[in-house]
Chains A and B, each alone.
Chain A
Amino acid sequence: MTSLPIVEYVTVFVALYATIFYFLLLFQSRRKLYSEPSLLPDSTLPSVSIVIPVLNEAGTISKTLDSVLNLNYPKSKLEIIVVDDESTDDTVNEVQSFAKYGVKLVRHVHCGVGKSSALNAGIRIATGELIATLDSDSFPSRDSLRRLASFFADNSITAVTAAVKVYSPRNWLEKLQSVEYLFVFFTRRLLSFVDSVTVTPGPMSVFRKNVFDKVGLFDETSILEDQEMAYRLQARNYKILSSLSAEVYTQVPAKFSDLLRQRVRWNRGGMRNVFKHRKLLNPRYGDLGIVILPMSLLTVILIFAIFASVIWQIISGQFFSWFSLEAFIYTLGGIQVVSAILLLIGIAWLLIGRKLFEDKQLVSLPRLFAFLFAYTYFTSIFWIATIGEELFGKKQKW
């Protein structure tokens, strides 16, 4: 490694601190990890409006609506609103075929903005006490809405996120994403214990309707409106919780090019959201402001540092010398030992997380290790593409 020693030391120490922090948080929260509110009886369940924005999803909207209609939520307390954003395929016809089941179709004028304006159009006409936002390629499990709605018996709760999982992963890329999604919602659950949830994911989240009166509707200028809404709620100290049991299954990119496009959007939207809500980087916001958000920024830098180091070693011809025992031994020093300890802790984190998931097949050991090693490099590629698009001023569309 050729970078300044001080940079290496600081980077490794910060990464170590973050990893140990998450471990301690898990240990501290272990007894309440799966503890969620009891399911409310029908009579006390609040009314819910499910808002589903859709644009050319003829392939999936029927399945989404079937899943929604299959929810074990009292039909009298359920309103289903599909907002069509000027689809040009058969989406509208498919949605209209569900009209007899009470599904409302709103024809929205596409403003070139994207999903957020369609969501807002649905929220404006929604009548439920709660608003559930659902992506048109996402399929909630039967009891998910009841589980999420039960959280709202506590008046202090403003939003609850579902456990987003990958729907029927087939190829290696989808299977890697399925591991990623499992750890994301698991981490989100932990962060909810320190009031630091930073995204209300589009596949399924539930909000108290009156919160939109207080903080406003989804930001129509944001390309990552689900995260922007979460930041806005956090800025007002509103409580966001995360469920492990309320499951929603979503489709993910099957091709790397589609995944790259998705992640570049997330990254660009994320950067803009952090800049917009930079006041959250403040001790006033507790763990979120002092540790969680700064750590997430530093993680990006760390990933870049690792990626750049590997590229440099490949260019300088040193990379392949790593595969010799001699080269490994001669490089061994303090930083390398701490990095190795960090790697072991990371592996332990994944193995513990795996133990907590029911579906062991989904997180088989080979897949887990593939995720650990592959994703570092994928994430770097995503960020390099992100910076490239930012530098060349390419307008990001939803």
Chain B
Amino acid sequence: MEEPRKPFSISLHVTALILSIIVFVFGIGIGNYLAGQVNNSFYTEIDSLQTSNVNLEFLSLLESDPSVTSNAILHTQMCNAVEQSAHSLGVQTADVGRRLRLFEQKRGQGADVLALEQRYFALEARDYLFWKRLKTLCNTNLTLVVYFFKTECNECTPFDTVLADFKKQDPPGILIYSFNLDYAPTTPSTSMLSSIYKVDAAPAIIINDKKLNGNTTVEELNKLV
């Protein structure tokens, strides 16, 4: 009854190994290609928003063109047009930011995500400074919020809810710009804003240039407005 052991089915296993390697490499390649495409789509979006400089031209007109500065009606009309356009771009920017947060959550803080975040924060910083200037020029009733956070920050988690509730009070009138302090050393825009407002710890909120550290509530934020 005792038979010699059947030899190891080497051809079967070698074929299985070769096919596995082919499928594996193919799958990894496809996955990396798709991941790259997602990356590229983010770059395209951010760059498209970045290069949209129509509002900056209007800002320049509002600031320095005498025919505009001396004509109150024209000035007001131009302010309204710029605000509308900027709001529309702001919604797109915020959506990119939301998706970038999700992207970072899924992908981690790798080099590709870091590069995207740098571009995005630069876009946010430009947007924020634009609105600050417009607010002054057009006497706009806007609330500008700068929120500094960190990725691994337990104290930051309640802030997300507080800020979301705060914005719900007046969605077009409250603009929130979020910056991740983890990226400050490598992101000039984040570094610049954090040094302007002297922020070195998260979470920190700046509302209309007033700083708030530590836990807060919607009521306390309203007091600062």
Chain A residues proximal to chain B, CB less than 8 Å: 12-13, 16-17, 20-21, 24-25, 28, 155-156, 158, 194-195, 208, 211, 214, 236-239, 283-287, 290-291, 318, 321, 326-327, 329-338, 340-341
Say if the beta carbon of B34 comes within 8 Å of chain A: yes
Q: Which of B20-28, B135-143, B185-193 is the contact stretch?
A: B20-28
Which B residues are in CB contact (< 8 Å) with A333? 31-32, 34-35, 107
Per-position 1/0 for B1-33, Cβ under 8 A of A: 111111111001101110110011001111110
Report yes or no: B1 in contact with A332, Cβ–Cβ below 8 A. Answer: no
Report yes or no: B38 in contact with A330, Cβ–Cβ below 8 A. Answer: yes
Nearest Cβ on chain B to A75's Cβ, whole angstroms: 28
**Cβ contact of A208, chosen from B1, B12, B34, B105, cutoff 8 A:** B1
Given the contacts A194-B6, A286-B5, A330-B107, A21 and B31 also touching, CB distance less than 8 Å: no
Which A residues are in CB contact (< 8 Å) with B7? 286
**Docked CA distance A211–B31 (Å):** 53
Report yes or no: A291 in contact with B13, Cβ–Cβ below 8 A. Answer: yes
Report yes or no: A237 in contact with B5, Cβ–Cβ below 8 A. Answer: yes
Report yes or no: A336 in contact with B31, Cβ–Cβ below 8 A. Answer: yes
Which B residues are in CB contact (< 8 Å) with A156? 1, 3
- B interface size (C-beta, 8 A): 33
Main secondary structure of the interface of B (DSSP, over half): helix
Report yes or no: A338 in contact with B27, Cβ–Cβ below 8 A. Answer: yes
**Docked CA distance A290–B4 (Å):** 16
Report yes or no: A334 in contact with B8, Cβ–Cβ below 8 A. Answer: no
7 more CB-based (< 8 A) A-B contacts, given A332-B34, A334-B31, A336-B31: A20-B23, A321-B105, A326-B102, A327-B106, A331-B107, A334-B27, A334-B28
Report yes or no: B99 in contact with A326, Cβ–Cβ below 8 A. Answer: yes
Report which residue of B5, B13, B32 has the largest number of chain A beta carbons within 10 angstroms of its beta carbon. B5
Say if the beta carbon of B103 comes within 8 Å of chain A: yes
Report yes or no: B23 in contact with A286, Cβ–Cβ below 8 A. Answer: no
Select from chain B the residue with minimum beta-carbon distance to A285.
B5
Which B residues are in CB contact (< 8 Å) with A25? 12
Chain B residues proximal to chain A, CB less than 8 Å: 1-9, 12-13, 15-17, 19-20, 23-24, 27-32, 34-35, 38, 99, 102-103, 105-107
Which A residues are in CB contact (< 8 Å) with B16? 17, 20-21, 24
9 contacts between A and B (CB under 8 A): A21-B13, A24-B16, A195-B6, A214-B1, A237-B2, A331-B107, A334-B29, A336-B31, A340-B27
Select from chain B the residue with minimum beta-carbon distance to A155.
B1
**Docked CA distance A285–B20 (Å):** 23
Report which residue of A208, A318, A336, A338 has the largest number of chain B beta carbons within 10 angstroms of its beta carbon. A338
Given the contacts A285-B5, A331-B106, A338-B23, A28 and B12 also touching, CB distance less than 8 Å: yes
Report yes or no: B24 in contact with A16, Cβ–Cβ below 8 A. Answer: yes
**Docked CA distance A333–B17 (Å):** 22
**Docked CA distance A195–B5 (Å):** 8
**Cβ contact of A338, chosen from B28, B34, B105, cutoff 8 A:** B28
Which A residues are in CB contact (< 8 Å) with B17? 17
Report yes or no: B9 in contact with A318, Cβ–Cβ below 8 A. Answer: no
Which A residues are in CB contact (< 8 Å) with B107? 330-331, 333
Which A residues are in CB contact (< 8 Å) with B105? 318, 321
Report yes or no: A332 in contact with B23, Cβ–Cβ below 8 A. Answer: no
Given the contacts A20-B19, A21-B13, A329-B38, A286 and B2 also touching, CB distance less than 8 Å: no
Nearest Cβ on chain A to B42's Cβ, whole angstroms: 10
Select from chain A the residue with minimum beta-carbon distance to B22.
A20
Nearest Cβ on chain B to A279's Cβ, whole angstroms: 13
Which B residues are in CB contact (< 8 Å) with A329? 38
Nearest Cβ on chain B to A175's Cβ, whole angstroms: 32
Which A residues are in CB contact (< 8 Å) with B30? 334, 337
Which A residues are in CB contact (< 8 Å) with B102? 321, 326-327, 330
Select from chain A the residue with minimum beta-carbon distance to B4.
A237
**Docked CA distance A6–B17 (Å):** 18
